[in-house]
Each structure stands twice: as structure tokens, then as C-alpha cells.
Amino acid sequence: MSLFWSRSPLKPVMKSHLSSILMVVILFSLIACEKEISNETGGITGTAKGEFYASLDGKQWNADSVQLILVSAGGATITGISKTGDQISMVLPALITGTYMLGTQSSSYALFGNLFTNNTNVYVSNSGTAGGTITISSIDTINQLVSGSFQFTLVNPADNSSVTITNGIFSYVPYGNGMGGNINPPPVGGDTDTLNATIDGVKFVPSDILPSLTNGKLLIAGFSMNGSQDIGILMPPDIKPGSYPLDFATGLYIGIYNPSPTVTLISQNSGTLTILSHDAVAKKIKGTFDFTASPTGTGSGTSVVITQGYFSVKY
């Protein structure tokens, strides 16, 4: 189900699809898989606010839009995204404390790219002279928080240019613990999690629904039966009833649609999210949405119009 775990990162077929592994593909392909939690324990306690930052070619970079650690049977992905679209992702074979080496022959790897510029400019740790380390220093399985550090030089296989990332820190970042629900479909407003929409006039009713509350973000996502198609809405976890613009540039309210595992389309000032009700204590939320999903930068794919979107979930 995940693009990452389906083949070795060193094989040519993987390198030919580097532009397809930017933010939302990572986010949804891993989040769709069944979670597997490490039994490792660490020294972090409490509920401190997560931090995710680094020095990018000597300039300070912060993951001030998305901070996410997702765990599946195949491993773990640590992703940070800035409001300007810069993304750093690190892929590990397991979420276990220790230091992971990066290089052309390593099972762990990292990537850097920008969602708003040329999507072929993806820098990876498994090409040429690239390399570095990722360290998981502690895992708090009670509060589901992970801390660690990273430093690496990444290379763009297209032109052998490089980017150096140093002093990387992620601390108190939650790892994915969302719950999914199957629908067939249930009646709108029923007790079972519900999400549906119309995509270019065709009804989309997912077979699996995954509400997930992570650091600073509430994600409501729906996946087709075979996992090849998905749709999702990102919003702040304390969102109130009302209407909000769906625009990735805000870093707050984002509509995402993956018509296939290699194509990502997002809302870019082109839609509306309306929260009908939200009980933050019971963690129940209902809303509607519509947006035009478009490629980012020079990304592949054709824009589609998503209408009649509705969700009613417990997260």
C-alpha cells in the first residue's frame, strides 16, 4: 500500500519516481496502512509542544506547517513541512531508538523537496556522495511522542546538485495513532465514521476512513478499497463551526486528493471547508467541503473539481 515499502530505494524504478514521493503521497500512503507501535521506551514524559527544525544550507528552517511521524508494519516515516512548502522526510525500517546511517546501500533514507517549485528537484540520501545519520533518542509510548536528531547531505540525481542539512532536531513529535472505520456506506449522520464526495461528477465513497489527530493538525482521510485513491482534509484540532478557505498556503486548512499513488493534487485558494459541529470533548466533528484539486508547481496530474464533500467522524 505504501510507495516506500514496495521496493528497495536503490532500484532505478524508485529513482524514476522521485517526484511522486513529496508530502501528501508520503502522508497518505503510510497513514493508510495498519499501524504498528514500537515497544521501545524513552525518557520523555508530559505533553510538551513538538519542535521540528534544522539548518538548511546554513539557513534556519522550521516545520511550521506539518510535523508527523507515521508508523506501519514496514517502518516509520518522519515528515516536517514548512509553510513555504519545503519538506524534509526521513524513512526508517522501524521506530526504535538508535542511530541510522544513510548512504547508497542503506535501508534508511531521507529526502528534501519543495511542493511549490519544480517537483523534479527532489534531493535524496541514496544517490552519489549523499549520506548522513538519523538518531531516534527516545520514544514515549505512553504519550506517543518521539524525539531525535538528524544531519545529512542530499543529492539531486537529475543534476548532481546537493543540499546540506545540519543541526536537525525533532522533539516531542507525536507518532500516528489514528483510528479507521469501514463503511458500506452508512447513512449520513449515523454513528459510523462517514466521508464521501463527488469528484468530477463521479461519486467517491471510500472503504476506509481514517481520522487522525497529530501535532497541531486534525486529518480526516478516506481511502478506496485498494488504497490507490484517497481524499483528505487537514485542519486545526480546535477548529470551530464556521466556513474556512481551503488553501495550502495558509498552512491551516488544506484539501488533498490523490487520484493515484504517483499523483498529488491539493487545494490552492480554491475551495471552502464548513464545520457544521465539533464536540472537542467527545472528539466528534461534522462538516462539508468543496475545492478544486490542482498539481503543485510543475507537478503531474490534471485538476479536478471536488463537490458535495461531507464527513462525520469521531477521532
pLDDT digits (tens, 9 = 90+) for 10-27: 222 233 333 333 444 444
Domains of the chain, residue spans: 4-174, 181-314
pLDDT of 116-157, one tens digit each? 665 567 899 988 899 999 999 999 888 888 999 999 999 988
The whole-number pLDDT of residue 82 equals 85
- Mean pLDDT of the 167-190 span: 54
What is the pLDDT averaged over residues 80-99? 88
According to DSSP, the β-strands at 123-124 and 98-102 are: unpaired
C-alpha pair distances (Å), 187 with each of 90, 193, 284: 40, 10, 16
Residue 135 · residue 146 · CB < 8 Å: no
Cβ atoms < 10 Å from Cβ of 113 = 26
The reported pLDDT for the residue numbered 5 is 23
Assess whether pLDDT exceeds 80 at residue 282.
Answer: yes
Question: In degrees rounded to 5, what are phi and psi of residue 294?
Answer: -130, 155
Q: State what percent of residues in the chain have pLDDT above 70.
A: 73
Rounded CA separation 71/55 (Å): 26
Averaged pLDDT for residues 74-98: 86
pTM for this prediction = 0.54
